């Protein structure tokens, strides 16, 4: 047998060590590459549950704040199926028809699950048409126009008492006392004012009560003083205000200044904190009577405190209504357990919710169907009861 020299044996060992080291480096490199490749893979994050909110313009922040507060609370409690709720806000300012375009964009571009609207009746009709064609739930959280539900659109829901319900409550409040009430109603040329006036006049007629004296804000020269003179000149002791919020502030102020003994009723739309300052809203304190659901004093105090902590100011009716409406939509989505629009719709039909502005349920037309009474106003919100 031929023996290898020492040099040959040493070289062989060095070759083995070298080959082993190279192999180790290759394995290490493969592991390192694999690890980096895995770490660079996109992490899957569950898509958010998008809810669209339509508002009059970019200055209309009350509904946005109310809705955000509800979404924030829902996300803190886990969202839904590890998914967070997300609010997408679109203003409707611009040429006529913007409401429809913004609704379509939210539905088809953003893929929202439901729509919430805090705006007037005219825009509500446009959004309702878009929602009907897309077969998606639309909840109105401000417009009181009763014709919104008269088309029997199954996708429409209204979280505020409509004008008919508000008129019924006001009429009952006016005429529940002794006879001899002399009533006047003042309106302006706005769409919502006209809708409220039509409902009130029809309700008074159906109740068999004397027709009220009708005053036009425009015909009164847009002057609260002239309104006051007409009230006293006609012996009016009850006034129903169906005008813009700032108009109502002026009328209530002059009635107070002249110490006129007139009971003042008004629609919920007067309590719009986007249009009135806190001082203007306080003009209504204990002077204005409005329709409302049964107020839960504990819930409204908790809501007001949380709202002030979050946004540094007191909430008004727009924020409170949007807060309730958003909570109802979130609960319906959770009950439905899916993004299926018909299941969300069914969940809303059967929902029962006790909110800040009262108890909620919906009739077959999507109208809020809880008992509506009358309450006084305090610090911009319905408060207490009216006797």
Domain 49-161+296-371 CATH superfamily: Response regulator (3.40.50.2300)
Q: How far apart are CA 157 and CA 325, in angstroms?
A: 10
Q: How far apart are CA 320 and CA 160, in angstroms?
A: 11
Whether 7 shows a pLDDT value over 50: the answer reads no
Read off the pLDDT band of 2 (50, 70, 90): very low
Whether 20 shows a pLDDT value over 60: the answer reads no
- Position with higher pLDDT, 45 vs 51: 51
In the prediction, which pLDDT does 293 show? Answer: 86
In the prediction, which pLDDT does 366 show? Answer: 96
In the prediction, which pLDDT does 385 show? Answer: 58
* pLDDT tens readout for residues 334-366: 999 999 999 999 999 999 999 999 999 999 999
Read off the pLDDT band of 199 (50, 70, 90): very high
DSSP 80: B
What is the CATH T-level fold of the domain 164-292, as seen in this structure? Rossmann fold (3.40.50)
* pLDDT tens readout for residues 239-288: 999 999 999 999 999 999 999 999 999 999 999 999 999 999 999 999 99
The DSSP secondary structure of 163-196, one letter per residue, reads HHHHHHHHHHHHSSS-S---EEEEE-SSHHHHHH
In the prediction, which pLDDT does 151 show? Answer: 82
**Residue with token string 């939509």:** 329
In the prediction, which pLDDT does 297 show? Answer: 81
- Domain layout of the chain by residue ranges: 1-29, 49-161+296-371, 164-292
* pLDDT tens readout for residues 207-237: 999 999 999 999 999 999 999 999 999 999 9
Q: How far apart are CA 321 and CA 63, in angstroms?
A: 8
Short-list 340, 320, 318, 326, CA closest to 85? 326
Contact 209, 179 (CB under 8 A): no
For 38-74, give one letter per residue: b (16+ CB within 10 A) or e.
eeeeeeeeeebbbbbbbbbeeebbbbbbbbbbbbeeb
Question: Do 49-161+296-371 and 164-292 fold alike per CATH?
Answer: yes
* pLDDT tens readout for residues 94-125: 888 899 999 999 999 999 999 999 999 999 99
| Helices marked H in the chain | 6-39, 62-76, 98-104, 121-134, 163-174, 191-206, 224-233, 245-257, 278-282, 297-311, 317-336, 341-349
DSSP 97: T
- Average confidence (pLDDT) over 139-156: 94
Read off the pLDDT band of 29 (50, 70, 90): very low
Burial group, residue 294, by CB count within 10 angstroms (0-12, 13-18, 19+): middle
Short-list 17, 30, 85, 10, CA closest to 53? 85
In the prediction, which pLDDT does 181 show? Answer: 84
Whether 42 shows a pLDDT value over 60: the answer reads no
Whether 5 shows a pLDDT value over 60: the answer reads no
For residue 210, give both structure tokens.
């004397």
What percent of the chain has pLDDT above 90?
77
- Average confidence (pLDDT) over 190-194: 97
* pLDDT tens readout for residues 288-304: 999 998 887 888 899 99
Whether 40 shows a pLDDT value over 70: the answer reads no
* pLDDT tens readout for residues 55-68: 999 999 999 999 99
Q: How far apart are CA 234 and CA 52, in angstroms?
A: 48
Cα-to-chain-centroid distance, residue 171: 27
Contact 321, 142 (CB under 8 A): yes
Can you tell me whether residue 71 is helix, strand or coil? helix
Whether 371 shows a pLDDT value over 90: the answer reads no
Contact 319, 65 (CB under 8 A): yes
**Residue with token string 């417009």:** 143
Phi, psi at 164, each rounded to 5°: -65, -45
Sign of the dihedral defined by the CA atoms of residues 252, 256, 260, 261, in that order: positive
In the prediction, which pLDDT does 41 show? Answer: 43
Sign of the dihedral defined by the CA atoms of residues 128, 373, 349, 344, in that order: positive
- Position with higher pLDDT, 112 vs 40: 112
Q: How many CB atoms lie within 10 A of CB 88?
A: 17
């Amino acid at each position: 047998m031929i023996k290898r020299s020492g040099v040959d044996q040493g070289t062989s060992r060095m070759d083995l060590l070298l080959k082993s080291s190279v192999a180790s480096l290759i394995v290490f490199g493969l592991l390192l590459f694999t690890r980096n490749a895995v770490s660079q893979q996109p992490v899957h994050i569950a898509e958010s549950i998008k809810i669209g909110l339509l508002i009059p313009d970019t200055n209309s922040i009350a509904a946005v704040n109310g809705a955000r507060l509800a979404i924030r609370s829902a996300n803190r409690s886990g969202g839904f199926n590890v998914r967070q709720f997300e609010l997408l806000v679109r203003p409707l300012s611009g040429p006529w028809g913007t409401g429809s375009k913004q609704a379509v964009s939210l539905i088809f571009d953003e893929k929202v699950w439901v729509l919430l609207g805090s705006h007037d009746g005219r825009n509500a009709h446009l959004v309702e048409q878009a929602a009907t064609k897309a077969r998606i739930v639309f909840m109105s959280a401000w417009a009181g126009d009763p014709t919104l539900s008269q088309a029997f659109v199954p996708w429409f829901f209204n979280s505020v008492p409509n004008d008919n319900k508000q008129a019924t409550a006001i009429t009952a409040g006016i005429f529940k006392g002794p006879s001899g009430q002399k009533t006047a109603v003042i309106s302006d040329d706005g769409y919502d004012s006209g809708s409220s006036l039509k409902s009130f006049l029809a309700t008074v007629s159906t109740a068999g009560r004397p027709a009220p004296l009708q005053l036009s804000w425009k015909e009164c020269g847009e002057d609260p003083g002239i309104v006051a003179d007409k009230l006293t000149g006609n012996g009016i002791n009850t006034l129903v205000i169906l005008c813009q919020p700032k108009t109502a502030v002026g009328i209530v102020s002059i009635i107070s200044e002249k110490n006129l003994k007139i009971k003042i009723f008004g629609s919920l739309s007067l309590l719009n904190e986007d249009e009135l300052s806190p001082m203007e809203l306080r003009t209504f304190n204990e002077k204005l009577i409005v329709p409302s659901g049964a107020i839960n004093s504990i819930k409204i105090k908790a809501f007001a405190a949380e709202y002030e902590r979050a946004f540094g100011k007191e909430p008004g009716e727009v924020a409170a209504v949007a807060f309730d409406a958003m909570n109802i939509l979130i609960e319906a989505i959770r009950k439905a357990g899916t993004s299926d629009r018909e299941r969300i719709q069914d969940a809303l039909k059967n929902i029962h919710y006790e909110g800040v502005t009262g108890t909620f349920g919906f009739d077959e037309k999507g109208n809020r169907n809880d008992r509506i009474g009358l309450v006084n106003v305090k610090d911009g919100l319905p408060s207490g009861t009216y006797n």
